[in-house]
Amino acid sequence: MTGEEIDELEADVRVFARFWMENQERLSPGGDEPYGDAVVLAAMKAAMRPDAIVDYGEAADLGALGLNDMLLVDTPRAAEPEGDIDEVLSAVLPALAPGVLIRFTGVTADDETGAAPAPDRAWNRALRRFLRDNGDYEVVFANRMFRVEMAELVEATLPRFLGEPGSGLWLRKLAPRT
């Protein structure tokens, strides 16, 4: 991601680095996800200890999700013709309780967006529009941003992540502003 995107997302990569170092022993892949996404998911599960983890699209009561519970959105699938990314952004996310963690996959960096399939480009643009000036969510972790901004730390702790960072973007739903 570019410096402009970092400013736009109002993310603090130092917070990412602290999370990375505090959970270094938990940075291990699992499941059938891309390496970087699996590594961060495993660390998030261990660090946050959610009561529930729900894949978007499963029959589940999303209103029952609470503090540190996780909603996993496979954005390339949600952006396909049968998916409804507008529903995710305009109805699902605003209805979540404060404290819920949301993980999106398929988030590309600026230099990758042009080569991405059309649904992925549209999804990435929609997500960026949604997050711009939206104080209802905080960026908890961004795989590609972390890889770029903290390359030396990644090289020293988990070098494979440099080449296989995945495409995760983690948000936390905040309490409504009054």
In tens digits, the chain (178 residues) has pLDDT values of 344 444 444 556 777 777 777 766 666 666 677 888 988 998 899 889 999 999 988 878 999 999 999 999 987 655 555 557 788 888 899 999 999 999 998 887 655 656 666 666 777 788 888 888 888 999 899 898 889 888 999 999 889 999 999 889 999 999 876 5
Give residue 80's domain range: 3-58+71-173
- 82 domain residue, yes or no: yes
pLDDT of residue 149: 87
pLDDT of residue 133: 80
The single residue listed with the structure tokens 């030396």 is 152
- 49 domain residue, yes or no: yes
- 50 domain residue, yes or no: yes
- 63 domain residue, yes or no: no
pLDDT of residue 169: 92
CA gap 42, 27 in Å, rounded = 6
* H helix runs in 25-172, sequence order: 35-48, 75-78, 85-87, 93-95, 110-113, 118-131, 143-149, 151-157, 160-163
- 65 domain residue, yes or no: no
pLDDT of residue 1: 39
- 44 domain residue, yes or no: yes
CA gap 121, 123 in Å, rounded = 5
Number of Cβ atoms within 10 Å of the Cβ of 175: 9
Please give the tally of structural domains in the chain. Answer: 1
The pTM for the full model equals 0.81
- 178 domain residue, yes or no: no
pLDDT of residue 3: 42
- 141 domain residue, yes or no: yes
pLDDT of residue 127: 86
